[in-house]
Structure formats: structure tokens, C-alpha cells
Amino acid sequence: MGKHIRTINSASIAAAITGRGCGECQTSCQSACKTSCTVGNQACVKKTEK
């Protein structure tokens, strides 16, 4: 933790390329009428299972 910067999360999106894109996660929907899931708040099934 720095004196001038407090880092909230250090997980990198860039690390989520290799071995990903399996498609097992829930379908997301960005339209206003369904709210099945938007992408930003979705979890990765692989990570959840680990």
C-alpha cells in the first residue's frame, strides 16, 4: 500500500486469456428487458469451481 496510491484489486484482466473463453458461464444479456446478466457483474465458472 503506497503513501499516495491505494490499490483496490490487483487481479489483471489480461491474465484471463489463456485457457479461457470456455463458454460455460451464464448467458449475459445487455438489453433492458431481461436482466439475465450483464457482463460486468458476472462470475467465471472456472474460477468459481477452483
Partner 1 sequence: MLHKFEFDGKKMVLDVHSGSVHEVDELVWWLLDDFEVLARPELLEKFGARYGAEEVAIAIAEIEELEREGLLFSPDPYKGKYSPPAGGITKALCLHLAHSCNLRCRYCFAGQGSFGGANELMPAGIGKSAIDFLIGRSGSRKNLNMDFFGGEPLLNFQVLKELVAYGRLRGREEGKEIEFTVTTNALLLNSEISSYLNQEGISAVLSLDGRREVHDNMRQTPGGGGSYEQVLERIRSFVDSRDGSNYIIRGTYTRCNLDFCADVLHMADLGYKHLSVEPVVATSEAAYAICEEDLPVLFSQYEQLARELLRRREEGRPVDFFHFNIDLDGGPCLPKRLTGCGAGYEYLAVAPNGDLYPCHQFVGRPKFLLGNVSEGLVNGDIGDVFRNTHVYTKEDCAACWAKFYCSGGCHANAELLNGSIYKPYLLGCALMKKRIECALYLKVKESSQAG
- The count of residues interacting with partner 1 (CB under 8 A) is 43
The answer to whether 42 and 28 are in contact (CB under 8 A) is yes
| Minimal distance, residue 21 CB to partner 1, in Å | 3
Q: How many CA atoms lie within 13 A of 39 on its CB side?
A: 2
**CA–CA separation, 46 and 24 (whole Å):** 8
For residue 49, state whether it binds partner 1 (rule: CB under 8 A).
no
For residue 8, state whether it binds partner 1 (rule: CB under 8 A).
yes
For residue 17, state whether it binds partner 1 (rule: CB under 8 A).
yes
For residue 48, state whether it binds partner 1 (rule: CB under 8 A).
yes
